[in-house]
Every structure is written in structure tokens, then in C-alpha cells.
């Protein structure tokens, strides 16, 4: 019997990433939080072992508010993943962000509600993880470095992602409010995805591809789902190339976990109600 394949890097993205992996094997994984959005596909990218998971399922059956973020992250961790790259589509709140701009956020504002936002919700489980810096510094640096000189995918090296609940887009007043608060991009899937990755002591890096100007352009009718898909479609090959380059530059598993990234030491000294996979 073949042993279960393991992966060191995880990618949570759209179905355009399926073609990404060489020698792919498909794993059906169950978790204490139920099934993830789809099977986890494990294969190689430039010699590194990578697990891919379609955030919305391969047939896009889960809208952002119905994605099982806890199961998705748990499933990736259970196959060995400790570093996650998470591309997503966003609206640009800064008028200088043309569609096709890639923003690597360093901050997040969570405006979602009604989502299962923690893995530590059993009675008696008191686990407060630090989230002052929600994204992995090493992962962000890897994306920013790989993005240098890619004219067809201009990279903005910081910014604040505001996550709305959806599935509807923002009203003009909401969009104006988010912009005047100084936030950079708006999306629907960034939370609780990033927070749960932190709760599981995984490095997490968000790659926000700007597909539209939200409801920010006067006289414009506002963003549509077709517009988001169309722009994402034209940029997916550029994004895959960038992600491939980032994967090759991410560090391998450290033999000495205590020397690893701070994200992975998040739970040091905390008493957990269960063992992590
Ligand atoms: Zn990290």
C-alpha cells in the first residue's frame, strides 16, 4: 500500500490552480469540523511538495459565507502543511489599483459575521492567539520579492484587506466608508481563513488580485461577478507563475521547529483542548 503523501506548502485558491501540480494525488480528508471544500490534491511544484485545495470546491459550490474555513485549514495541516499561500479576488479601494494589481496585505479588518471563526470553541477552551500582525512576514517577503519586475502583475507590498460577509457586493456608501478608513482592498474570503491559520500555528500569506473598483466609481453600475471572473481569468497564468516562484523560494521545514517562523510558535505555552494534527 502506498503511504499517504505529505506536503509542506499549501495553496488555497480557485480551480484554475488544478493544472499546477505535477504527479498529483487526490486525498479525501475528513476533519473534526466536517469535510473541507473539496479533496486535497498533493503533487510537486519545482521539486517541492505542495497541497492544493479549491476554496469554493471545484464546481464552485460554496459561496464565501459557506466555505468551511476550519475544515480547509485543518485538512491542510493534517497532511503536513505549515505554510499557506492564499490567492483571492478583491475589489480595489485605492483608485491607483488597476485591475490586475496584486496587493500583499499586511493588515486585515474582519467585517464578516455568522461564520465559524475559531477552532477553539469547546466549553472550557480558552485559547487567545496573537493576531497583531495577521500575515506571515516571511511569506509576504517571498511574494514581494518574486513580484519584482513582473510588469503584467504589478505588486503592491502592503495594505489593509477588509473582509465583508457577502455574498452581495458593497453599497456605494459602504465602499466609500471602507475607502475613507484608509483600507486598501475588499474581499469576502480573507476571514476567518487567516485567523484560523494562525490558530493552527500555520504561516499564512494572502495574495489579493484586484479585479474591479468595488462600488467606488461614480456613474459606474458597480462590480459584477462576471467582471471578477473575467479579470481573474486573464491573470490566472501570471498569478500561477508568481505562486510557483514563491513556492521555490519558501524555506523548507526546519529540523529545529524553535528556529522557525514566529507564526509557528503562536501556540507555545498555551494549553490546547486537543492535539493538532
Ligand atoms: Zn510565518
Nearest-5° Cα angle at 198, 194 to 201:
140
Q: What does the alpha-carbon distance between residue 87 and residue 77 come to, in Å, rounded to a whole number?
A: 18
Cis bond before residue 138 (omega within 30° of 0): no
Buried (b) or exposed (e) across 205-226, using 16+ Cβ within 10 A?
Answer: bbbbbbbbbbbbeeeeebbeee
H or E stretch covering 241: helix 225-249
Quote the ligand 1 centre to 265 CA distance (angstroms).
Answer: 9
Q: What does the alpha-carbon distance between residue 222 and residue 169 come to, in Å, rounded to a whole number?
A: 9
CATH superfamily of 9-265: Nucleoside phosphorylase domain (3.40.50.1580)
Active site residues: 212, 214
Quote the ligand 1 centre to 256 CA distance (angstroms).
Answer: 15
Residue pair 227/160 in contact by the 8 Å Cβ criterion: no
Q: Hey, CA dihedral for 252, 256, 260, 266, is it positive or negative?
A: positive
Q: What is the pLDDT of residue 214?
A: 85
Quote the ligand 1 centre to 264 CA distance (angstroms).
Answer: 6
The beta strands (E) that lie in the chain are given as 9-13, 22-27, 40-45, 48-54, 83-92, 102-103, 107-111, 155-156, 160-164, 185-187, 203-212
Q: What is the pLDDT of residue 218?
A: 63
Quote the ligand 1 centre to 166 CA distance (angstroms).
Answer: 28
Quote the ligand 1 centre to 82 CA distance (angstroms).
Answer: 9
Quote the ligand 1 centre to 10 CA distance (angstroms).
Answer: 13
Q: What is the pLDDT of residue 264?
A: 93
**pLDDT digit string (tens) for the chain, length 277 residues:** 457 789 999 999 976 777 778 789 999 999 999 999 999 999 999 889 999 999 999 888 999 999 999 999 999 999 999 999 999 999 999 999 999 999 999 999 999 999 999 999 988 889 999 999 999 999 999 999 999 877 889 999 999 999 999 999 999 999 999 999 999 999 999 999 999 999 999 999 999 999 988 887 666 778 888 888 888 888 889 999 999 999 999 988 765 565 679 999 999 999 999 999 9
Q: What is the pLDDT of residue 51?
A: 96
Q: What is the pLDDT of residue 1?
A: 44
Burial of 118 (0-12, 13-18, 19+ CB in 10 A): middle
Amino acid at each position: 500500500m502506498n503511504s499517504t503523501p505529505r506536503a509542506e506548502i499549501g495553496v488555497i485558491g480557485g480551480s484554475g490552480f488544478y493544472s499546477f501540480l505535477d504527479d498529483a494525488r487526490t486525498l479525501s480528508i475528513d476533519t473534526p469540523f466536517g469535510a473541507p471544500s473539496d479533496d486535497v490534491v498533493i503533487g510537486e511544484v519545482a521539486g517541492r511538495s505542495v497541497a492544493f485545495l479549491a476554496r469554493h470546491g471545484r464546481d464552485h459550490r460554496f459561496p464565501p459565507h459557506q466555505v468551511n474555513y476550519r475544515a480547509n485549514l485543518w485538512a491542510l495541516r493534517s497532511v503536513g502543511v505549515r505554510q499557506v499561500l492564499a490567492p483571492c479576488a478583491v475589489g480595489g479601494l485605492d483608485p491607483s489599483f488597476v485591475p490586475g494589481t496584486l496587493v500583499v496585505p499586511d493588515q486585515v479588518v474582519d467585517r464578516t459575521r455568522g461564520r465559524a471563526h475559531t477552532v477553539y470553541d469547546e466549553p472550557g477552551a480558552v485559547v487567545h492567539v496573537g493576531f497583531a500582525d495577521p500575515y506571515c512576514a516571511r511569506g509576504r517577503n517571498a511574494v514581494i520579492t518574486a513580484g519584482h519586475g513582473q510588469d503584467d502583475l504589478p505588486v503592491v507590498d502592503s495594505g489593509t484587506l477588509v473582509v465583508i460577509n457577502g455574498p452581495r457586493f458593497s453599497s456605494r456608501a459602504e465602499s466609500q466608508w471602507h475607502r475613507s478608513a484608509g483600507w486598501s482592498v475588499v474581499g469576502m474570503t480573507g476571514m476567518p481563513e487567516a485567523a484560523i491559520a494562525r490558530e493552527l500555528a500555520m504561516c499564512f500569506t494572502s495574495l489579493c488580485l484586484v479585479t474591479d473598483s468595488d462600488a467606488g466609481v461614480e456613474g459606474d453600475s458597480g462590480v459584477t461577478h462576471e467582471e471578477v471572473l473575467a479579470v481573474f481569468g486573464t491573470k490566472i497564468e501570471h498569478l500561477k507563475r508568481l505562486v510557483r516562484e514563491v513556492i521555490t523560494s519558501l524555506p523548507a521545514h526546519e529540523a529545529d521547529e524553535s528556529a522557525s517562523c514566529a507564526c509557528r510558535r503562536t501556540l507555545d505555552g498555551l494549553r490546547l483542548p486537543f492535539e493538532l494534527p
